[in-house]
A and B are shown apart, each in its own frame.
Chain A
């Protein structure tokens, strides 16, 4: 073994260069931990590659020698993620710090994993862009490390966390295989491998390049520093500001101990009687921002603010932020060390948690302070202690554990942005049951079958994830086919009742692309749904899930399923606390019902969907549905947690009902868009949004598509932040009852002045391109505005694609939109067919309603796939799908997708053959 080790080091030195390997024991000691120092154990060697190819080489050697691989960025993590628990090879990315490509037209950048977060933002600043996630360690931490822990930061309240900003990952797997998880094109088909890898804490592979989303720098911002006599009133302000429809970028809170520390350390002159400090930042276009600031100041005053320090100039804002940014340092100086606990609770539970935390400090006689992301409910209590006093260390850990227990009891999770690592691995079992952990272990076993990547992390220390996956596999395979097929009907009837089990003609309305199932079961609740799945599994029946049936046209043609499971009776609200801006509902709840429920509280889900009275939330999640209105992200970005019924009827839960969460693998992202092929979605937890103060849309029609697209390009170059920009061609306009060659519908939401500014500027740009007409729509007396967007959502409706009608979706990088539209127009002319196109213009997604004969449909689809790869034949008369690979070209990472499908559904019973991999 020793000899082997020396040989390995020699080989690595030869292949990667003498400087690329560290093996001196004294030097290796400096790699024994990361930003956390709870456990220290040095690696056997450190490799510092400079290229992806060198990483592949290093991983291949580690694979051959079967030694652990521990990825390391800057080592600023706080949960022990980069600590080499079992020694082995640390692969450091410090020398891979190149921004490979900045692609402004597509608003993305290709970066190596060692690029420092802050420096990426600096790099793209001159283009008017930033990389949005900004963890407090941003000046040192790397993008690779951010990906591993799904990092957040003070601005993620508005802009989202890392997973919302990673488009695709270039990943090296345990055996040295290198693959992309995606090509970064919006709305492509296939499982969300990118979403799975983000937050996986280096246990699934090594990211060698990342394609990241770039965000437009705001035109302006305003900051308020508000001081309050107590934490409760400050918390009230948090809820009120958010609830009133202002979408701050940051809502950061500090308690009195933190305030005092900062005051002493930096002489900020904050009133000593203040118990809570709130930093509120809003940004956007200049117009309306001062009104927004005034409104926020008024809310603060109503809640008894002691002092308000509005900051309008950049210098004032920097001063305000200094209080927050220097806080950790100021507190750090009060004691030799601090234990920074990271948990999340629903926002409304903050005052209670603060009380409890203070009590814990008293109980254990330890000084504490709180600085946290209040807007997200992300707590960060700091326990000050002396690491050389074993008793203090023990008390600090006891407090941390108590905070975690309390957070879980209050409906929260154990990590918002630091990850599990080794710090919290033994708390995972508090949050998840055995089945939940087993379902996560499937991912581990699929990517990391020899437990080489970052072993002994994330899962409880007494459980081996490979064993967990194995246990699950044998649970499923053992129970399969244990029931005679003839028993299926009677057993299903026994579960749901005869009334809710349909066969023959009764099952006909549930036909999937012309295929009628033997049975249609309508379980009444979660338990019935689970039992139905269990019965199907034991009887060896294939199962297709059915929400509202509005999108069943989508996907490959399949054989008639044995059972269709409808979720229509699972339509209850499980939990809705408007002040938390979260809701948990059963999967079968129709979108319209959900929207009405939210509207009653002045809230919304920011999208419009075709047939909202029928389409269900569970169905949309299964589809990975996206729409035109993406200013707040897509449904993927709003999903917080899922309850899933596995193929054998086991109920698992993943995610939570809080807006930030890095607690284990993100099955939520994986199951979103998995088309019911991995499990059945039973309940959905969502982030909801306050209804904007004002909304309006500018509809500009043009004489040519080129004029519309030139206007679009100009809009993209401004600071405007429309929530939707839809391109409409002549056919689409005709469907909307309008005339013209091309049009843009540009939607703005927010303060009235901000909306007006958008309307004014877009109209002016449209005029420059000789717009034929510009019309501003608002929801005045006639609801023109809502009606327009509802109509746009129905343009590419899939349920009526019959006869010679087909609906196709073409996904391209946003900068290729004009070329793709031109290509479509050219094909329409060549093949003499009519195509009505609309496009989510800032995202490169084109929806086409094609009227043509069969041969033409084939040619059209094939040609578009050849040129653009992602052309999906969403819907047409079922018989016309024969011989067409409806999902277009094989997606990147198909091998892993296959493996995941086989691991989650080993008996291949769930919606078999329907999706892009089967």
Chain B
């Protein structure tokens, strides 16, 4: 019987034909540090608070799982170009619900944004062909996408004049019938912007342009406050700004809108463009310095949480860090401010409506503000607050999330709107433009006649009714 030849096995001493591909790890700039990553003790208490975990049931879609992925990159077990790592860093809403429940105080938002910054940096290097390894997942995006990103992030958000001009065009687009034509023609689908287009808020015809104007308090002025006007809020949500100013006036505040302020940089930070975020931060800090105000008021949860963290963002900038700390100390969410100074309940008229409150993540989790919005709502005579299930679970908006992760955004939007509708409330209130847009979109999809309002709008309305 013939002996079967044994196949020759490669021995360890023999050189292998293929050079091992080095794993692409974190680079030093804006690195999620081991200290921050290792603060996680893997207890899993965050799981139930995480919207993407609740939707998928996948460990890697949980905060603990994502931290483990970061740790794996940091320890060189997987590369920065791991599709699972990239997908998870993108799928996270950065709602930071996990931070609020973490017994070990993990700064999840910080390490997530740093991880995203790492991906963005690697992608940039790849696009500039400076990376030693070529990875599919880091391959440059199509030119039109890169250009669009360039225009939006470096152009529009950086310069409020451009932003307003663009918003003006949008308003025209929405009002002239061009929107109707574009939708009908299917051109949006063609350029893959259908999803994005439905998310666009109805834009106002006029804008709030901060030029140092001062709105005097009604009656005696006890406080002087400055207000952040931001980008989207000052164009698409002008009525909310106007309501905010009127409510502050009713509450003995002189309100000043300092010039030269702009976008808070939240979207930059969340998407890993930390340098872009820093530029905007420096500009805002400078704009609000030396005003001698009692507080800087923010009425959008996302902007508020970003402003409150400027000192972390500028931690490594010795010149700006201290200035950031002084700035941060003044930031107050409008609901936080009004409950702190004690809401002026005089002159509040009756609003006989049932409302349910969708808590913006960047208010409840990032800023840990949960009671004040409810306190304000309950102060309105006639108003009935009906709590929805999972009121603090992300609605799926999360900045540009519904553009980058449309499927998950839709699932979470659906979950949220079902909970809201179950309460039978006529109005869903919130305190963030992203949530507003998401809720309106979901209601439109469901063809349900339920309003979405900012809490401050209802307060304003109650004061107006009281005056009438």
A329 interface residue per 8 A CB criterion: yes
Instruction: Indicate which residue in B48, B64, B78, B103 contacts A116 across the interface (CB closer than 8 Å).
Output: B48
Distance between B116 CB and nearest chain A CB, rounded to angstroms: 17
Taking residues whose C-beta sits less than 8 angstroms from the other chain, chain A's interface range is 35 or more
A30 interface residue per 8 A CB criterion: yes
Instruction: Indicate which residue in A29, A74, A95, A140 contacts B78 across the interface (CB closer than 8 Å).
Output: A29
CA–CA, A29 to B42, complex, Å? 13
A586 interface residue per 8 A CB criterion: no
For A75, the chain B residues whose CB sits under 8 A away are: 44, 47, 59, 64
Restricting to A317-338, which residues have a CB under 8 Å from any CB of B?
326, 328-329, 332-333, 336-338
Distance between A148 CB and nearest chain B CB, rounded to angstroms: 15
Distance between A274 CB and nearest chain B CB, rounded to angstroms: 23
Distance between B435 CB and nearest chain A CB, rounded to angstroms: 23
Does A35 lie within 8 Å of B57, measured CB to CB? Answer: no
Given known A-B contacts A24-B84, A94-B57, A329-B103, A29 and B44 have beta carbons under 8 A apart: no
CA–CA, A516 to B136, complex, Å? 85
For B56, the chain A residues whose CB sits under 8 A away are: 19
Interface mask (B53-64 → A, CB under 8 Å = 1, otherwise 0)? 100111110101
CA–CA, A46 to B84, complex, Å? 15
For B105, the chain A residues whose CB sits under 8 A away are: 329, 332-333
For B46, the chain A residues whose CB sits under 8 A away are: 140
Instruction: Indicate which residue in A24, A37, A137 contacts B45 across the interface (CB closer than 8 Å).
Output: A137
Does A33 lie within 8 Å of B84, measured CB to CB? Answer: no
B322 interface residue per 8 A CB criterion: no
Distance between B60 CB and nearest chain A CB, rounded to angstroms: 4
Restricting to B42-95, which residues have a CB under 8 Å from any CB of A?
42-49, 53, 56-60, 62, 64-65, 68-69, 72, 77-78, 82-85
CA–CA, A48 to B47, complex, Å? 16
A76 interface residue per 8 A CB criterion: yes
Does A92 lie within 8 Å of B59, measured CB to CB? Answer: yes
Instruction: Indicate which residue in A27, A35, A329 contacts B104 across the interface (CB closer than 8 Å).
Output: A329
Distance between B117 CB and nearest chain A CB, rounded to angstroms: 20
For B72, the chain A residues whose CB sits under 8 A away are: 26, 29
Distance between A26 CB and nearest chain B CB, rounded to angstroms: 4
B339 interface residue per 8 A CB criterion: no
Does A336 lie within 8 Å of B57, measured CB to CB? Answer: no
For B39, the chain A residues whose CB sits under 8 A away are: 336
CA–CA, A434 to B59, complex, Å? 38
Given known A-B contacts A22-B58, A29-B68, A34 and B44 have beta carbons under 8 A apart: yes
Given known A-B contacts A74-B47, A338-B41, A332 and B104 have beta carbons under 8 A apart: yes
For A336, the chain B residues whose CB sits under 8 A away are: 38-39, 41
B101 interface residue per 8 A CB criterion: yes
CA–CA, A332 to B41, complex, Å? 8
A119 interface residue per 8 A CB criterion: yes
CA–CA, A137 to B60, complex, Å? 20
Does A119 lie within 8 Å of B48, measured CB to CB? Answer: yes
CA–CA, A76 to B78, complex, Å? 24
Does A139 lie within 8 Å of B101, measured CB to CB? Answer: yes
Instruction: Indicate which residue in A24, A76, A95, A328 contacts B57 across the interface (CB closer than 8 Å).
Output: A95
CA–CA, A140 to B43, complex, Å? 10
For A326, the chain B residues whose CB sits under 8 A away are: 103
Restricting to B1-54, which residues have a CB under 8 Å from any CB of A?
38-39, 41-49, 53
Instruction: Indicate which residue in B42, B43, B57, B78 contacts A114 across the interface (CB closer than 8 Å).
Output: B57
Q: Which of B65, B68, B69, B103 has the most CB of A within 10 A?
A: B103
Does A48 lie within 8 Å of B84, measured CB to CB? Answer: no
A459 interface residue per 8 A CB criterion: no
Restricting to A504-542, which residues have a CB under 8 Å from any CB of B?
none
CA–CA, A94 to B53, complex, Å? 9
Distance between A804 CB and nearest chain B CB, rounded to angstroms: 60
Does B43 lie within 8 Å of A27, measured CB to CB? Answer: no
A388 interface residue per 8 A CB criterion: yes
A31 interface residue per 8 A CB criterion: yes
Instruction: Indicate which residue in A48, A119, A140 contacts B58 across the interface (CB closer than 8 Å).
Output: A48
For B44, the chain A residues whose CB sits under 8 A away are: 34-35, 74-76, 137, 140-141
Given known A-B contacts A116-B48, A337-B41, A30 and B59 have beta carbons under 8 A apart: yes
Instruction: Indicate which residue in A30, A95, A116, A141 contacts B60 across the interface (CB closer than 8 Å).
Output: A30
Instruction: For A37, give the chain B residue with the smallest CB separation.
Output: B42
Instruction: Indicate which residue in B47, B49, B78, B101 contacts A26 across the interface (CB closer than 8 Å).
Output: B78
Instruction: Indicate which residue in A24, A35, A92 contacts B42 across the interface (CB closer than 8 Å).
Output: A35
CA–CA, A31 to B57, complex, Å? 12
Distance between A98 CB and nearest chain B CB, rounded to angstroms: 12
For B82, the chain A residues whose CB sits under 8 A away are: 26
Instruction: For A330, give the chain B residue with the smallest CB separation.
Output: B103
For A139, the chain B residues whose CB sits under 8 A away are: 45, 48-49, 101
Distance between A695 CB and nearest chain B CB, rounded to angstroms: 42
Restricting to A35-56, which residues have a CB under 8 Å from any CB of B?
35-37, 46, 48
CA–CA, A139 to B43, complex, Å? 12
Does B38 lie within 8 Å of A388, measured CB to CB? Answer: yes
For A97, the chain B residues whose CB sits under 8 A away are: 57
Distance between A56 CB and nearest chain B CB, rounded to angstroms: 18
Given known A-B contacts A35-B42, A137-B45, A26 and B84 have beta carbons under 8 A apart: yes
CA–CA, A46 to B77, complex, Å? 20
Distance between A349 CB and nearest chain B CB, rounded to angstroms: 29
Instruction: For A90, give the chain B residue with the smallest CB separation.
Output: B59
Distance between A46 CB and nearest chain B CB, rounded to angstroms: 8
CA–CA, A35 to B59, complex, Å? 12
CA–CA, A328 to B59, complex, Å? 23
For B104, the chain A residues whose CB sits under 8 A away are: 329, 332-333
Distance between A315 CB and nearest chain B CB, rounded to angstroms: 12
CA–CA, A387 to B58, complex, Å? 26
For A119, the chain B residues whose CB sits under 8 A away are: 48
For B101, the chain A residues whose CB sits under 8 A away are: 139
Interface mask (A6-38 → B, CB under 8 Å = 1, otherwise 0)? 000000000000010010101101110111110
Instruction: Indicate which residue in B48, B58, B83, B103 contacts A74 across the interface (CB closer than 8 Å).
Output: B48
Given known A-B contacts A27-B84, A30-B59, A76 and B65 have beta carbons under 8 A apart: no
Does A30 lie within 8 Å of B47, measured CB to CB? Answer: no
Q: Which of B58, B85, B101 has the most CB of A within 10 A?
A: B58
Given known A-B contacts A26-B78, A139-B101, A31 and B59 have beta carbons under 8 A apart: yes
Does A33 lie within 8 Å of B42, measured CB to CB? Answer: yes
Distance between A497 CB and nearest chain B CB, rounded to angstroms: 60
Distance between A310 CB and nearest chain B CB, rounded to angstroms: 25
Does B48 lie within 8 Å of A140, measured CB to CB? Answer: yes
For B41, the chain A residues whose CB sits under 8 A away are: 37, 332, 336-338
Instruction: For A49, give the chain B residue with the smallest CB separation.
Output: B57
CA–CA, A883 to B437, complex, Å? 74
Does B60 lie within 8 Å of A27, measured CB to CB? Answer: yes
CA–CA, A29 to B53, complex, Å? 16
For B77, the chain A residues whose CB sits under 8 A away are: 29
Instruction: For B82, give the chain A residue with the smallest CB separation.
Output: A26
For A36, the chain B residues whose CB sits under 8 A away are: 42
Instruction: For B50, give the chain A residue with the smallest CB separation.
Output: A140
CA–CA, A19 to B78, complex, Å? 23
CA–CA, A37 to B64, complex, Å? 12
Instruction: Indicate which residue in A30, A35, A92 contacts B69 across the interface (CB closer than 8 Å).
Output: A30
Q: Which of A29, A328, A337 has the most CB of B within 10 A?
A: A29
Instruction: For B55, give the chain A residue with the smallest CB separation.
Output: A95
Instruction: For A145, give the chain B residue with the smallest CB separation.
Output: B44
Given known A-B contacts A26-B84, A37-B42, A332-B103, A140 and B47 have beta carbons under 8 A apart: yes
Interface mask (A99-135 → B, CB under 8 Å = 1, otherwise 0)? 0000000000000001010110000000000000000
Instruction: For A72, give the chain B residue with the smallest CB separation.
Output: B59
Top 9 A-B residue pairs of the complex, sorted by shortest distance between their CB atoms: A94-B57, A329-B103, A26-B84, A30-B65, A76-B44, A95-B57, A30-B59, A332-B104, A30-B60
Known A27-B84, A95-B57, A328-B103; 7 more pairs at CB < 8 Å: A22-B58, A26-B60, A30-B60, A30-B62, A119-B48, A332-B105, A336-B41
In the assembled complex, 13 residue pairs joining A and B whose CB atoms fall closer than 8 Å, in A order, are A19-B56, A22-B58, A27-B60, A30-B64, A34-B42, A35-B42, A48-B57, A75-B59, A76-B45, A116-B48, A141-B44, A333-B104, A337-B41
